[in-house]
Amino acid sequence: MAAVVLAVAVLGACSTLTASYQNISNLRQTATAVSLARELIEEIAARPYVSPIDGSITTGPSSSMTSRSQFAKVGDYAGYTDTSNSLVGLDGTSLSVGAGETYTRQVTVTFGAKPSVDTASPANDFALVTVTVTTPSGQAVSLSRTMANETLAR
């Protein structure tokens, strides 16, 4: 009888430890996904809103752009996706995301996403950029940022 009670207690402890391990794994994946989304959204925010060549705000890269390092403006990132267990940074170096797990990053850029409190600015002066990272367990983590077309006067 004592052996049965001991076996039940051990099984109870094992299921608790398994659930705890799964929660820790999910938290780690979520933290990694947030870091990957932040890295990409900051990269996009560092780009000019309009093309430095012709002042356009078209979405998606031109057909001649074969890598992310060639993107010249915010709109070039529209539709961008990468999937890997080691994501390539803008400078071409690989970023290990740990334990061979595969993450997917996707970017949407919506022009005309003007804040409702701004009644004076043209709608095309704003874009909503959303980076969604999907974790190995299938959880999607999204970060959004409003970008604005700013002109600096000297």
CA distance from start to end of the chain:
87
Question: What's the CA gap between 130 and 36, in Å, rounded?
Answer: 13
Tell me what percent of the residues of the chain surpass a pLDDT of 90: 29
Query: pLDDT tens digits for 25-62?
Result: 888 899 889 989 999 999 999 998 888 778 777 777 87
Task: Return the pLDDT at 123.
Answer: 72
- Residue 131 vs residue 53, higher pLDDT: 131
Task: Return the pLDDT at 18.
Answer: 57
Is the pLDDT reported for residue 148 higher than 70? yes
